[in-house]
Amino acid sequence: ITARIFGVAARASAGLLAGGRIAAHPSPSAATAHQLAAASRSWSLTTLRPMSTGKLDLIKQLREESSAPVTEVKAALEESDWDIEKAHVVLRKRGIAQAEKKASKRTAAEGLVSAAASEDGTVAALVEVNCETDFVSRNDAFQQLVGQAARALLNSAEGGGAASSPVSGSEILELPAEGGSTIGEALTNVGLGIREKLQVRRGMVMAAERGVVSTYLHMSQAPGVGSIGAVVALEASSKGDVEGDRTSKVAEIGRKVAMHVAASDPRFLCEASVPEEVVEAEKEVLRNQPGVSEKPANIVEKMITGRLNKFFKQVTLLNQPFVMDDSVSVEDFVKREGKALGIQGLAVTQFGRFKVGDGIERAAEE
């Protein structure tokens, strides 16, 4: 900088500036040169001083640990007087505020489903976590978060005496996460780096007292996560029928049925599980079809019975044609495979299915 100042002064004294002739000026005195040099040194020290290596290391460390943008990392460290633990707290508070602001304006309809199962195969958990864009569902940190939520729900179910039940997203957020935090805190930390609205939407736990629970993830983008998750419980008449070598074989039968569930999307397990109001609504639709009302009552009832049977084959898991062998129903497939293993009465007793974003409505502007 000093050299540039003296260079300009020298050119001015020679009367040459930008190629034009100007009146010559006397060269700067020693005092003037000293003042210019001192000013340039002062300016360079206050304005161009590089950040200390220690602070750069702190920024790098906090950036890697939080995945937050560099500008926010630096601001949090400055606010906390370069105390990295306090800076983490600052970032989390900002992340929560930003998440709450986004939650009121945006729809999270993308995301992933994760499944986790116990070592003995008797309990499994299914969890759906949503984000705003499909791009984020391919993010490693997001995928790990979804898997962690499923494992946390499984651990909670095993520790509290597993029972099949749906679980709300708010309940899952309170569960302990890996590393000593909660799933809610883990979600906030991941959200700091992803910069999208994230939400744990729902979960379910399934347990089998006399058999196994099998899972399947469709369109899996990474181990343990997918776009559709299915879980199926297969149980025998006696608990001792599904033990030893049979356990893994029954689990494989269940996995095939879970694949069917993912592909066919049954609404109910069997005819008996279809609510009466659903059956009556279907009957009313059939009665109002063109030409039906003109027929005798006994003929109409026979038509309704026949069409209801077709309806049950479409919406109930046990009556659906099995996707891998449509010559048999799912119920008959399981019975056949069970008999081949020497197990009498093997049957599907429960099932569940999560599809990412199913039932979520986006705003028109989104």
Provide DSSP, 50-118: PPPHHHHHHHHHHHHHH---HHHHHHHHHHTTT-HHHHHHHHHHHHHHHHHHHHTT----EEEEEEEE-
**What confidence category does residue 62 fall into, taking pLDDT thresholds of 50, 70 and 90?**
confident
Please tell me which residue, 19 or 98, carries the higher pLDDT value.
Answer: 98
pLDDT attached to residue 18 = 41
Give the integer Cα–Cα distance in Å for 88 and 63. Answer: 10
pLDDT attached to residue 19 = 41
Give the integer Cα–Cα distance in Å for 131 and 128. Answer: 10
Q: If you average pLDDT over residues 1-19, what whole number do you get?
A: 44
pLDDT attached to residue 278 = 94
Tens of pLDDT, residue by residue over 113-140, are: 999 999 999 999 999 999 999 999 999 9
By three-state DSSP, how is residue 337 classified?
helix
**361 pLDDT above the threshold of 70:** yes
pLDDT attached to residue 365 = 57
pLDDT attached to residue 98 = 60
Please tell me which residue, 91 or 153, carries the higher pLDDT value.
Answer: 153
In the beta sheet, which residues pair with residue 20? Answer: 17
Tens of pLDDT, residue by residue over 63-89, are: 777 667 788 788 888 888 888 888 878
**What confidence category does residue 317 fall into, taking pLDDT thresholds of 50, 70 and 90?**
very high
The amino acid sitting at 250 is V
Q: If you average pLDDT over residues 223-227, what whole number do you get?
A: 94
pLDDT attached to residue 340 = 95
Residue percentage of the chain with pLDDT more than 90: 51
Residue from 336, 355, 356 nearest 346 by CA:
336
**201 pLDDT above the threshold of 90:** yes
Give the integer Cα–Cα distance in Å for 330 and 262. Answer: 13
**303 pLDDT above the threshold of 60:** yes
pLDDT attached to residue 191 = 84
Tens of pLDDT, residue by residue over 241-300, are: 998 889 999 999 999 999 999 999 999 999 999 999 999 999 888 888 887 777 888 888
The amino acid sitting at 284 is E
pLDDT attached to residue 56 = 87
Query: What average pLDDT does the chain have?
Result: 82
pLDDT attached to residue 274 = 95
**188 pLDDT above the threshold of 90:** no
Give the integer Cα–Cα distance in Å for 328 and 334. Answer: 10
Annotate 346-362 with b (16+ C-beta within 10 A) or e (fewer).
bbbbbbbbbbbbeeeee
Q: If you average pLDDT over residues 322-346, what whole number do you get?
A: 95
